[in-house]
Amino acid sequence: MEASTLSTYLPLLAMVLVQLGLAGLNVMSKLTMASGMSPYVLLAYRNFIAAAFLAPIAFLVERYIHDN
């Protein structure tokens, strides 16, 4: 696969992966709330997991930006 072909299909692949992730989160949310979990607890867990995932990425990106 050439670089131009990859750069052409990369946005499409990213959009498909984001949609699959959102669909999976929607299904998980419905299942957990159907089993009796409070929506507030689910929201707190979701925010904690997002922060734990994004914090190292932000730390690495900002470190390289501020070093230059």
pLDDT truncated to tens, each residue of the chain (68 aa)? 567 888 889 999 999 999 999 999 999 999 999 999 999 999 999 999 999 999 999 998 888 777 66
**Whether 42 and 68 share a structural domain:** yes
- Angle (CA) 11-14-17 rounded to 5° is 155
**Whether 43 and 64 share a structural domain:** yes
**Whether 20 and 50 share a structural domain:** no
What is the per-residue pLDDT for 1?
A: 56
Question: How far apart are the C-alpha atoms of 46 and 26, rounded to whole Å?
Answer: 12
The amino acid present at 14, given as its one-letter code, is A
- Angle (CA) 9-12-14 rounded to 5° is 110
What is the per-residue pLDDT for 55?
A: 95
What is the per-residue pLDDT for 45?
A: 93
- What pTM does this model have? 0.65
Question: Residue 29 is part of which domain span?
Answer: 1-36
Tally of domains in the chain: 2
Tokens of 52: 């734990």
Name the residue with tokens 């699959």: 20
